[in-house]
Copies of this chain bind each other. A is one copy, B any other.
Amino acid sequence: MPRNGSTTRTTIMDAAEALILETGFSATSVDRVIDRAGVTKGTFFYHFQSKAGLARALVERYAEHDLNNLESNLARAEKLSRDPLQQLLIFVGLFEEAAEALTEPYPGCLFASYCSEAGLFDQDTLQIIRDTMTTWRTRLGAKIEEAMAKHPPRLDVDADSLADMITVAFEGAFMLSKSLSDPNVVSQQLGHYRNYLELLFAEAPSAPA
């Protein structure tokens, strides 16, 4: 059970994150955050030195959660098959499965919010986003290289940009899902990414039925 201090800090962060996903960072004033979180200004400033400090804490938490998802699904995929191509397809499939369970359109991505208002953040805060995206590229790119070595791709592709494609699918699909109020866009787009990987590395594709 967390101590009360850590619960209050989390309450403030959750309120701020939800507000940022609704109206962006600039419009998320400290007053709106304390109002939504139901805390006093004194409590806010006990936990965070400034709005910039809150911004930094939020993106650190978001990145940590994101990288945990990456690593845990990679580990699961590596347990579920010995073959790197199958691991890759399972990895994408696990995210697709989670996205299929969504019943509401995706509320948005904190990274995308910060990126849309990039001029308001310091370079250290933006660097956390860059590092997270680069980690996805590196980790998934290495798995793609393994798959390529065993299953030569049918077209000449670059492992890094093929790895980037999952970040692109997430970010683009979150945006489209939110804009069209359609909860299915994310799983559909991950499904297309998985199809592409499958077709790209298929050794002896059969003719269509």
Contact = CB atoms under 8 A, between A and B. Distances in A.
Interface stretch (A7-15, A66-74, A127-135): A127-135
Given A130-B180, A208-B154, A24 B117 contact: yes
B120 A24 contact: yes
Given A116-B112, A134-B180, A171-B171, A188 B158 contact: yes
Contacts of A157: 192, 195
A117 B196 contact: no
A126 interface: yes
Interface of A: 22-27, 108, 111-113, 115-120, 126, 129-130, 133-134, 152-155, 157-158, 161-162, 164-165, 167-173, 175-176, 178-180, 184-185, 188-189, 191-192, 195-196, 198-200, 204-205, 207-208
Given A24-B25, A118-B179, 5 more contacts: A23-B120, A26-B27, A130-B179, A161-B192, A168-B173
